[in-house]
Structure 1
Amino acid sequence: MSLMAALCVNMVTVNMLLSVFFLSGVSAQCGSITPAALFIDAPKEMEALSGSCLLIPCIFRAKDGTQFDSSREIYGVWIKNDPRFSNKDNVIFNSSQSVNSYKMQMTGNLREQNCTTLFSDLDKSKTNKYFFRIESEHFRATACDDPLQITVRDSPWSPRINISGEAKEKKSVTISCSAFTSCPHSPPQLTWNLQQNSHSQIEKNTDGTFTSKIQQSITLSDSHDGFNISCSATYPVDEGKPGKTKETQQTLSVTYAPKETSASISPSGLVSAGSWVNLTCSSRANPPISSFSWFLKTKDGSMKVAEGQFYTVNMTNMTESYYCEATNILGHNRSSWIHLKNEESFPLSTILAVTVSVVIVLIFLPLCVCRLKRKNPTQQQTQNQTGEEEEIHYGDIKFSDRRAAPSSVSEQDSGQQQETVYARIQVSKAESSSEQSAEGLQDLYAQVNKK
């Protein structure tokens, strides 16, 4: 038994020594001076868009008590997956080299302990854990305790809509739309339906990341209640491909006092005395109406007679006038007067007077029309009377060609038979043959025989 116990103790001792050995080896690989001799201030996790770039904000510092000479030549190194610098396959970027496996650029000034880096040409295969390392003449260390997890995604981020201030009628608020900007060198384009051609601004967050934002200040009214704000962010990508767009919508809720209050009657028109009439009050408000009240017009002024959106009235009087009032926590609003009348509100004498007047008009109107026709004869009759006074003469008209052969009847006989009058006229005649003259005109004579 003592032998077995001794063997067990020896095995435990060997395991402990092996554990210490291997742990010391990892630490030694992580930093050449001491483990965790370098620290960086950077986000623990970052997201990037495939086809775009990522700006990594980074500030490094050496372990307290460690000398770091910033006047010496300094190089920055990024390692993926495994912090061991000895594994050259994991070293993706070294600022001392002109060619690297990943497209990265050290934009920060290492002499000022700024290790900010621009990571370009990202795709989903570059989703990994990354470590930063410093290489100089007397200081070589990796920030083993500060890994950076980078996740590359295909879909863009949804923009965020924010409303600052009280969303109440007649109050001024500032509405903004913002989108995460992984790469300020290629920011997203923000557009919305509040204002055309809005110019976005890039703001730096407390953790060193960036946000693009557009905003507008407006004075609210009841018409803005229920308005749907739409904002979209379009992220540019490499290789001239179409940008990736994501949209966000938010409905604006504006509180206001009651408006457009109205009262309606059912049935409408004249009603019989003693019948029931239904009154309805309508209004709009945000928050909703909390109470409706009905008021009756009296000789002493308005008198509250009921509460509720609906009110039923028994028509006992000839005429009655009502209005309703709508109320919520922000105020109240009243309708115009509505007037109820029953059939007895029109006396019999009034009805008879109207009937007699209509009958008189129907009887005397045709008589007046007939008298007007007799006094004003028609135009045709006037023309007929005028025509009878004129003397009408009749005559025979004969047309002959001046160049025709003389008649066989002697001039003497002709003179005895009738008196001949000649008149010269010109008539335009169409050409019928080539023998006719170019002018195509002939002189004709008209012979008129007077009876």
Structure 2
Amino acid sequence: MAAALTLLLIASLLQGALCGEFKASMLQTVEVLRGSCVTIPCSFEMKDGYESDLDNTSDPPRPTLTPSALKEKEGASVSLTCSAPAPCLSHPPTLTWTPDLGESVKTLQENQDKTKVQTSVVTFTASKNHHGETISCTATYNKQDGSTESAVNTSLTADISCDPCGEFKASMLQTVEVLRGSCVTIPCSFEIEDGYESDLDNTCRAVWMIDQKPVFDSSNLKTSTKNGELRGNLTRKDCTTTLNNMQPANSNNYFFRLDCVNRLKYNFAEQISISVKDDPPRPTLTPSALKVKEGTSVSLTCSAPAPCLSHPPTLTWTPDLGQSVETLKDNQDKTKVQTSVLTFTASKNHHGETISCTATYNKQDGSTESAVTTSLTADISYSPKDTTVSVCPSGPVPEGSNVTLTCSSTANPAVESYTWYRADGAQETVVGTGAVFKIKGPKDNSSFFCKTDNNIGSGRSSIIHIDVQGSDQHCGPYSGVLLLAVAGVSLSVNVLYTVCVAFLWKSRKRVKPKEVDQTYMSLDPRDRSPEYDVIAQTSR
């Protein structure tokens, strides 16, 4: 009995010794029948501090915030990225931001290890009101088995500094150009003295003035001389306003007034100069010049200001080189810009081509649309193309005659070197250089080709064959005409010569004796002439 009690005490002590650390107990080896199952006996211990965490829940990993801390100056443009793993592609997590700071863009991206991650990027302008605020991103996972969804979040605290703070100050553009007959959106924000913060409520209205005369009142549009709309939230110190159907008479300096149904009433000193133009500004091409090698992937960006948000410009590319993606983006000064990104692969055919982007503005008043264009000329470098060889004289050549070979090719930059090869079956032998290669007195049939090179690459002509046989030929672009001319001249000379000979012969036969009154004529044979032969024949 004492021995049994001792063993039980030792076992209890050993069990206590194993407590307070992570340890699993299981078989070291087990044999299983093929096609059957196996049950693995298993138990574990863990550190005492984790006992309360041992429950039936299993949460997904928390999302990641980038950057993990936010410390900015007031007015800075802030982009926060929230990322959460998406192991189940059919049920990716849903990402939400708290508070609602502005528009967010969600995408499902791929990591380098081929796993997926859901991301959400929120962009907003830091203000004094964000200071000390807790910004959270929550990832919510809907389960495939229909059980209760799981949600996890990650947070940061915004640290926003302002200079100056606690005084009346408005922030807006100094100048803006507007297309006649269109609208203009004025990005605007403001600060007030700390003692008036409690007076900034829903009773406040935005008033825009010219020379202390109101032209737009957000609370009374009927009495406003200029039609428009308050787009911002005054309680968030956002006074962004759109003024419609701008005409040349509306070109002026505009001031902002904050008017609340309490003691908060203030005319801000800052002003914006609005200039109404007949034509919109030309779009901008980035890069402004295109100089690349053939085969390079090219991305051209066309940007055109969009002062009227309800009528942004339409961007078109000429010629149609490939796919383009058009988006409306924010500038740092809060103005909008329409962009179009064109992507294509540079080729020889694009060299010297004029690539244009046209921005077409439809006006708010229904008048004729305005279109402006910006262009660039593509400079595409490429290796020699269309390399050919011309032979003079063409066709079969007589043995021993001279033959001229000329190599031509198109390239950018221009061809730097020409190399001539004699082709004899699989063997190719260098025989000369230069664009023109002369062969003196070939005695047998030969095959040649030329190779052209520049700093991009090389080109090669097809093999040409020279047949040594036939009659002599002349070399030149008019060799056929020259042969015909020579033959014609030779024939003409022969005909003329034959006619002259025939004429002279006939003339001799028609000669008659001259009737000369002479009684005596010398019969000396030394003085005999053909005429005497004729007289003699007549006297017989």
TM-score over 0.5 for the pair: yes
Q: What are the residue-to-residue correspondences of 1:280-359 with 2, within 5 Å?
A: 280-297=406-423, 301-343=427-469
Q: What are the residue-to-residue correspondences of 1:241-280 with 2, within 5 Å?
A: 241-280=367-406
One-letter amino acid of the structure 2 residue matched with residue 139 of structure 1: L
One-letter amino acid of the structure 2 residue matched with residue 321 of structure 1: S
Q: What are the residue-to-residue correspondences of 1:32-71 with 2, within 5 Å?
A: 37-62=167-192, 67-69=196-198, 70-71=200-201
Pick the aligned partner of 2:240 from 116, 121, 124: 116
How many angstroms does 1:72 deviate by? Answer: 6.4
Distance 1:253 1:195, change over 3 A: closer
Q: What are the residue-to-residue correspondences of 1:12-411 with 2, within 5 Å?
A: 37-62=167-192, 67-69=196-198, 70-71=200-201, 73-80=203-210, 82=211, 87=212, 90-98=213-221, 99-136=223-260, 137-144=262-269, 146-162=270-286, 167-192=292-317, 193-194=319-320, 200-297=326-423, 301-343=427-469
How many angstroms does 1:205 deviate by? Answer: 1.7
CA contact (8 A) 1:318 1:345 kept: no
- The separation in 2 between residues aligned to 1:73 and 1:163, in whole angstroms, is 49
One-letter amino acid of the structure 2 residue matched with residue 42 of structure 1: M
How many angstroms does 1:265 deviate by? Answer: 1.2
How many angstroms does 1:42 deviate by? Answer: 2.1
One-letter amino acid of the structure 1 residue matched with residue 298 of structure 2: V
Secondary structure class of the residue paired with 2:293: coil
- The separation in 2 between residues aligned to 1:305 and 1:58, in whole angstroms, is 77
CA contact (8 A) 2:283 2:357 kept: yes
- The separation in 2 between residues aligned to 1:76 and 1:300, in whole angstroms, is 87
CA distances 1:116-155 after superposition (whole Å, capped 9, x unpaired): 01011101122222222222333333332x3212111001
Distance 1:108 1:72, change over 3 A: closer
- The separation in 2 between residues aligned to 1:307 and 1:329, in whole angstroms, is 17
Partner of 1:380: none
How many angstroms does 1:111 deviate by? Answer: 0.6
Distance 1:49 1:300, change over 3 A: closer
CA distances 1:300-341 after superposition (whole Å, capped 9, x unpaired): 932323332222332343333321111111211111122234
After TM superposition, where is structure 1 displaced by more than 6 Å over at least 4 residues in a row? 195-199
CA contact (8 A) 1:131 1:147 kept: yes
One-letter amino acid of the structure 2 residue matched with residue 51 of structure 1: G
- The separation in 2 between residues aligned to 1:195 and 1:180, in whole angstroms, is 23
Secondary structure class of the residue paired with 1:134: strand
One-letter amino acid of the structure 1 residue matched with residue 172 of structure 2: A
How many angstroms does 1:163 deviate by? Answer: 5.7
- The separation in 2 between residues aligned to 1:315 and 1:340, in whole angstroms, is 12
One-letter amino acid of the structure 2 residue matched with residue 232 of structure 1: T
CA distances 1:387-443 after superposition (whole Å, capped 9, x unpaired): xxxxxxxxxxxxxxxxxxxxxxxxxxxxxxxxxxxxxxxxxxxxxxxxxxxxxxxxx
- The separation in 2 between residues aligned to 1:113 and 1:206, in whole angstroms, is 18
Deviates more, 1:298-307 or 1:43-52: 298-307
- The separation in 1 between residues aligned to 2:337 and 2:426, in whole angstroms, is 66
CA contact (8 A) 1:320 1:341 kept: yes
Partner of 2:16: none
CA contact (8 A) 2:284 2:304 kept: yes
CA contact (8 A) 1:163 1:173 kept: no
CA contact (8 A) 1:76 1:115 kept: yes
One-letter amino acid of the structure 2 residue matched with residue 140 of structure 1: K
CA contact (8 A) 1:319 1:345 kept: no
Higher relative contact order (CA 8 A, sep 6+): 1
Secondary structure class of the residue paired with 1:223: helix
- The separation in 2 between residues aligned to 1:325 and 1:209, in whole angstroms, is 56
One-letter amino acid of the structure 2 residue matched with residue 56 of structure 1: I
CA contact (8 A) 1:194 1:229 kept: no
* TM-score, scaled to structure 2: 0.50
How many angstroms does 1:292 deviate by? Answer: 1.7
Distance 1:242 1:342, change over 3 A: same
- The separation in 2 between residues aligned to 1:196 and 1:218, in whole angstroms, is 5
What percentage of residue pairs aligned between the two structures are identical? 32
How many angstroms does 1:345 deviate by? Answer: 11
Partner of 1:444: none
CA contact (8 A) 2:361 2:369 kept: yes
- The separation in 2 between residues aligned to 1:72 and 1:301, in whole angstroms, is 91
- The separation in 1 between residues aligned to 2:465 and 2:322, in whole angstroms, is 50
- The separation in 2 between residues aligned to 1:160 and 1:251, in whole angstroms, is 14
One-letter amino acid of the structure 2 residue matched with residue 177 of structure 1: C
- The separation in 1 between residues aligned to 2:180 and 2:215, in whole angstroms, is 18
How many angstroms does 1:236 deviate by? Answer: 1.3
Q: What are the residue-to-residue correspondences of 1:411-450 with 2, within 5 Å?
A: none
- The separation in 2 between residues aligned to 1:110 and 1:39, in whole angstroms, is 14
Structure 2: 5+ residue stretches without partners = 1-165, 473-540
CA contact (8 A) 1:236 1:244 kept: yes
CA contact (8 A) 2:323 2:343 kept: no
Distance 1:43 1:288, change over 3 A: farther
Secondary structure class of the residue paired with 1:111: helix
Distance 1:158 1:307, change over 3 A: same
Distance 1:276 1:142, change over 3 A: farther
- The separation in 2 between residues aligned to 1:272 and 1:249, in whole angstroms, is 56
Structure 1: 5+ residue stretches without partners = 1-35, 347-451
- The separation in 2 between residues aligned to 1:190 and 1:72, in whole angstroms, is 40
Partner of 2:146: none
- The separation in 2 between residues aligned to 1:269 and 1:195, in whole angstroms, is 43
One-letter amino acid of the structure 1 residue matched with residue 461 of structure 2: S
Question: Which entry has the higher C-alpha Rg, 1 or 2?
Answer: 1
Partner of 1:3: none
